[in-house]
Amino acid sequence: MAKISKIEAKERIGFLRRELERHNHNYYVLNSPTISDFEFDLLMGELQGLEKMFPDLVSADSPTMHVGSDIVAGFEQVAHRYPMLSLGNSYSIGEMEEFDARIAKAVSSPYSFSCELKFDGTAICLTYRGGSLVRALTRGDGAKGDDVTRNVVNIPSIPKHLKGSGYPGEFEIRGEIYMPFEAFERNSAERIENGDEPFANPRNAASGSLKLQNPEEMKSRGLDCVLYHILGENLPFRSHAEAIAAAASWGLPVSEYSRKAGSIGEAVQYIEYWDSKRHDLPFATDGIVIKVDELDLQRRLGMTAKSPRWATAYKFRPEQALTQLISIDYQVGRTGAITPVANLDPVPLSGTTVKRASLHNRDQMDLLDIHIGDYVYVEKGGEIIPKITGVELSRRPDDAGPAVFPTVCPDCGTPLVRDESQAKHYCPGISTCPTQIKGRLIHFTTRKAMDIHAGEATVEALYEKGFLKDLPDFYSLTKEQLMTLDGWQDKSCDNLLESIRQSLEVPFGRVLYALGIRHIGQANASMLASHFGNIDNLMSASRDELLQIDEIGDVMADSLIDYFRSEKGREIVSALKAVGLKMSTEGTEKVRISDRLEGSTIVISGNFSISREEMKALVEAHGGRNSGSVSGKTTYLLAGEKAGGEKLRKAEKLGVRVITEDDFYKIVEE
């Protein structure tokens, strides 16, 4: 570190502390980080160096002395029985060897290491008493955490009751709640479809989902869990590996990828293997955790104020590529949101060729000071979504001009408005913007909405011909109109018209979702339909009445008010009521056909001869329970065409029976 005066150091320390606290808040509370873990660790390392150089400037409230806090309103805070600390980070093999040298200096007896993948999720602490789960706490500020038990019990892989015997009367087990890539991609696609900002990465998605106020909505997010550290009084284990093996025998989810290393050399081999193979995993991992395996040595090595001395994390550097920005497209979403997308000179990154990357919004563009023609650094957020993280100013061409965010809709020319709550710009031309109209028509036809059998190309062709101008027009389509489409014959026309007739039976919750109201997803629509009972009650609800519902916040309440108070929104609802769509929950009680699946838990994956929602309804009609992820409690994995590979692999590993659609019908008809 360059020579620095005490006055300069004091000023720099103050700046670094403010920056780190701000980034901690973005990361833990808002679940919306603005810098990478590597950049954060560089700032933290600089602060630690300055505090070491000027020890009289160290203070108890410095970020170097405590972990970031994820405490949020809406949950009870409970003190941790044992402090929940964070791990020290390293980015080089040399630092790992230094970690080993410190241990060798502190202890005289032989030792080994436990090597584990560092799951990129959100920390959790579970307490079991008498074999039953009694409490689940987040890390919080390390001393206390949020009680999220009501949400955690809805994660299928976490058992409410332990199996087998030999477990302590009371103990804690800590781990990570994470979102597998398959669930992350599904949830992100749904958010984009609903006009919401996509999740930044699986870690933020997991953390945000765990803190949802509605446990049922959280349940649909597909969270999973891995546990890796047991705490309690007089535990009968000599090593960490022995304790984790016992946890697995009690039905607790532990990692299958952990390995024991007899030396730091073997631990380095484990690190190097997973640094190259991590992209093959079905979940995000950002490093490797190395722990002294012998528990008596862990106790002797002890803790610092912030982290254990017997464990450290080797963090993988994010893969990064430098390439040139060719141009920026400004895409108009179904709800009018404008998203800038960078077109790049194709570059290989993390096993794929990246040609495009999201710039998110104008604020991000301004922060980067991005110019057309710039050479930009591209990373994959959570190893999935390409994002631009910086500009190489030394290579900026002389003729590079600043990127200019549009002031009018690139599709219809309507002046844009800014949604301050999301830092997003929107086109307000709900009834005049062709892209929004077509997006709304396509959304209306989807399986989770009205399940009308018309693809995007068909909807666009009908729009271009003037046969579809808005949602009610589906119910006035004629066979003569459809026959004007290229390649359409009697059968294809009849199939589409029949699906339109069948859509008249779609329940109110799905009709409400099909309207495409900004920020209102499927779960919210179903909840609103159940709460208000019919469309008239919902349309006349005041903002205060909407906000009294736990799951509805300011953004959703304002969106509902704007839609139902607008002339266009009321016009669409009136026309859809007139053609006979269900606008009430009356008469929609669940049908019970049999008890054939009573006590069975079924996971559905892939495509079937009927919609997935209809298949789920059939499971419930025969007494079964639907689940989003495969676990030891799953009875059947019902696999259709293009079933998820990860679910099939997990079912095989756990010995869960995989059945086809035909098998399912045979079971319920026995």
Residue in this structure with the two tokens 């992350």, named with its chain if needed = 184
> Hey, CA dihedral for 625, 628, 632, 634, is it positive or negative?
positive
What span, in angstroms and rounded, lies between the C-alpha atoms of 122 and 110?
33
Contact 51, 141 (CB under 8 A): no
What span, in angstroms and rounded, lies between the C-alpha atoms of 635 and 656?
6
What span, in angstroms and rounded, lies between the C-alpha atoms of 61 and 519?
38
Q: Which of 264, 260, 282 is nearest to 120 (CA)?
A: 282
What span, in angstroms and rounded, lies between the C-alpha atoms of 371 and 392?
11
Contact 250, 132 (CB under 8 A): no
Q: What is the dihedral of CA 523, 529, 532, 536, to 10 degrees?
A: 130
What span, in angstroms and rounded, lies between the C-alpha atoms of 604 and 592?
19
130-135 LR contacts (CB < 8 Å, sep 24+): 130/169, 130/170, 131/161, 131/162, 131/167, 131/250, 132/160, 132/161, 132/162, 133/158, 133/159, 133/160, 133/161, 135/78
> Hey, CA dihedral for 582, 500, 575, 469, is it positive or negative?
positive
What span, in angstroms and rounded, lies between the C-alpha atoms of 208 and 185?
15
Cβ of 551: how many Cβ atoms within 10 Å?
A: 15
Please report, for residues 58, 89, 277, 303, 309, the alpha-carbon distance to residue 55 in angstroms, rounded to integers and kept in the order given: 5, 22, 42, 20, 21
Q: According to the 3-state scheme, what is the secondary structure of 285-352?
A: EEEEEEEECEHHHHHHHCECCCCECCEEEEECCCCEEEEEEEEEEEEECCCCEEEEEEEEEEEEECCE
What span, in angstroms and rounded, lies between the C-alpha atoms of 319 and 323?
13
Helix, strand, coil content of the chain in percent (nearest 5): 40, 20, 40
Q: Residue type for 624, please? A: G
Q: Which residues are catalytic?
A: 118
Q: Residue type for 161, please? A: H
Contact 628, 618 (CB under 8 A): no
Beta bridge partners of 342: 328, 357
Q: Residue 427: left (phi > 0), alpha (psi -120 to 50), or beta?
A: beta
Of the CA atoms within 13 Å of residue 3, those in its CB half-sphere come to: 0
Distance of CA 613 to the CA centre of its chain: 22
Q: Which of 220, 136, 127, 133 is nearest to 179 (CA)?
A: 220
The total number of residues shown for the chain amounts to: 670
φ, ψ (nearest 5 deg) of residue 300: -70, -35
What span, in angstroms and rounded, lies between the C-alpha atoms of 365 and 440?
28
Contact 490, 566 (CB under 8 A): no
Contact 208, 69 (CB under 8 A): no
